[in-house]
Amino acid sequence: MMKRSMKRWMMGAVLASIAWAGLQAEHVVFVAMNDTHSQIEPAADGQGGVLRRRAIVDQIRRENKNTLVVHAGDAVQGTVFFSLYGGEMEYALMDSLGYDIIVLGNHEFDNGIDSIAHFYKNIKATKLSVNYDMSDTKLDGLFQPWVIKAYGDKRVAIMGINVTPKGLIADANYKGMRYLPSIDVADATAKYLKEVQKVDYVVMVSHIGYTSYDPDEPNDVDIIKGSHYIDFVIGGHSHTVIKPGSDRAAVKNADGKPITVGQNGKSGKLVAAYDLDLETGEVTYRHYKVDASWDEAAKAYPAMDRWLDYYRHGVDSLMNNPLGESARYMKNSSDALQNWVSDVTMEIIKPLSGISDVQFAIMNKGGIHTDMPQGLVTEGLIMSMFPFDNRFMVLEISGQDLIDALEVMASRRGDAMSKELRVTYDDKGKVTSAKINGKKVDPAKTYKMVTIDYLANGGDYMVPFKNATRLYVDNVKYGNHIIQYVRNLSKNGKKIDSTDEKRMVKK
């Protein structure tokens, strides 16, 4: 009798275990990348590389039956691969990497909407955007606001949210596209998805930044804080590395609920895997470092490697062409490299423009895309450092507009400026002192300055520059002038070098 009871108990336990296994929640793993910026090969620090990223993606797919691979914008711009081939490689590789969902970054617009349409019509991934109305452009019909995926009895919606183009993208490059403010549409769309479409979870894939480049522009944190319906955010744009388990990885929404938000820096040096538990809504994640430990696994893709070789030959011819020598290493975000670029611009512009009384230079730190190594500097490196198709411009600007522009710069803790200009500002971003060659800037006077057309046209929110008078507009990419400058520097037996001084200081 006792044995029979024991058998019945054991059978019941087994059946209960089987029933529990059937009831266990499914999981969805989001494999996410952002701001890979044409980093096809490993970067100068040995991190990154598209073959390694594919090895990571494929391994995660093998380990998880429900996997979605996501790119949160800015797949292009930043290396010679984009300068030479205009995105041909990066967009073709989206299918090779198996992206399921992609959103646009601002740099996708660098060659204009028609270029996006040319490449995107062939990409298999679902293309998302809630807040770009593209109906009057060649992108009409290529994008949808969201996609809904069903896993068992659970439904997951993924929606795309994009950055405001004004101030970031040249006006001509998004002509015909209408922008809807992300702060207005993000949670409203999530509410609709939950209440009307009856989804269980809403995932926002965004390219607006964890922090804002301009304080007036909303970011992921702002949207989460005002949200009741968004459950999880995969971000891009600000190049933020949000470490798993850190304080930044969860932001409380309008109801006080912690919402996971992730972002993986830039240049494809990290791949994130976010595990969404469809029963509890909990999101856990880990980072995969894209480093040499994946080289052996990357050998599994010889056909892809051979395909890359075709493009590598053109890049190698430039990357192996010696140009000059640098006295030391300077990180692209460092004061030293920003100072060098601005001072070089001043040296170039006077003989180039014939305007000998240009007083200072203002450049954008975001336009410096790679570090300056110590030692050999090649033509390809300088092309990678200054990849944009921008031109030098000489402006005559009022002192008041200059001060207003400096306050825009202060709001993001400064930009690159030449040695003639010195600025201090307070913790509210108000300029407390601005001097040119030791003399205080007079709001009533006018000054001659050099910058690039992107900034002169109001890019990076430098709207005050649009009020200036244009005295000279060059017709050659400014990076080409810097290449020639370095070549001449080398001929004269000199090395690239600069100072570490801060020319815009918070006091």
Mean pLDDT of 55-73: 97
Question: What pLDDT is stored for residue 25 in this prediction?
Answer: 60
pTM: 0.81
Residue 15 has pLDDT above 80, yes or no: no
Domain ranges of the chain: 25-311, 321-506
Residue 18 has pLDDT above 70, yes or no: no
Gap between the Cα atoms of 368 and 337, Å rounded: 8
Q: With helix as H, strand as E and coil as C, how does 322-384 read?
A: EEEEECCCECCCCHHHHHHHHHHHHHHHHHHHCCCCCCEEEECHHHCCCCECCEEEEHHHHHH
- Please write the tens of the pLDDT for every residue from 157-171: 999 999 999 888 888
Asked if domains 25-311 and 321-506 share a fold, the reply is no
Question: What pLDDT is stored for residue 5 in this prediction?
Answer: 42
- Please write the tens of the pLDDT for every residue from 72-131: 999 999 888 998 899 999 999 999 999 999 999 999 999 999 999 999 999 999 999 999
The overall average pLDDT reported for the chain is: 93
Gap between the Cα atoms of 89 and 81, Å rounded: 8
Residue 19 has pLDDT above 50, yes or no: no
The helix-helix angle for 88-96 and 302-319 (nearest 10°) equals 160
- Largest interatomic CA distance in the chain: 108
Question: What pLDDT is stored for residue 24 in this prediction?
Answer: 47
At which residue do the structure tokens 């990223």 appear? 53
Mean pLDDT of 200-213: 95
Sequence-separated (6 or more) residues with CB below 8 Å from residue 419: 339, 342, 343, 346, 503
Question: What pLDDT is stored for residue 3 in this prediction?
Answer: 43
Candidates 3.40.980.10, 3.90.780.10, 2.60.40.3880, 1.10.20.140; CATH matching 321-506: 3.90.780.10
Which CATH fold topology does 25-311 show? Purple Acid Phosphatase; chain A, domain 2 (3.60.21)
Distance of CA 28 to the CA centre of its chain: 25
- Please write the tens of the pLDDT for every residue from 221-251: 999 999 999 999 999 999 999 999 999 999 9
Sequence-separated (6 or more) residues with CB below 8 Å from residue 371: 44, 329, 330, 331, 332, 337
Residue 1 has pLDDT above 50, yes or no: no
Question: What pLDDT is stored for residue 425 in this prediction?
Answer: 96
Mean pLDDT of 455-484: 94
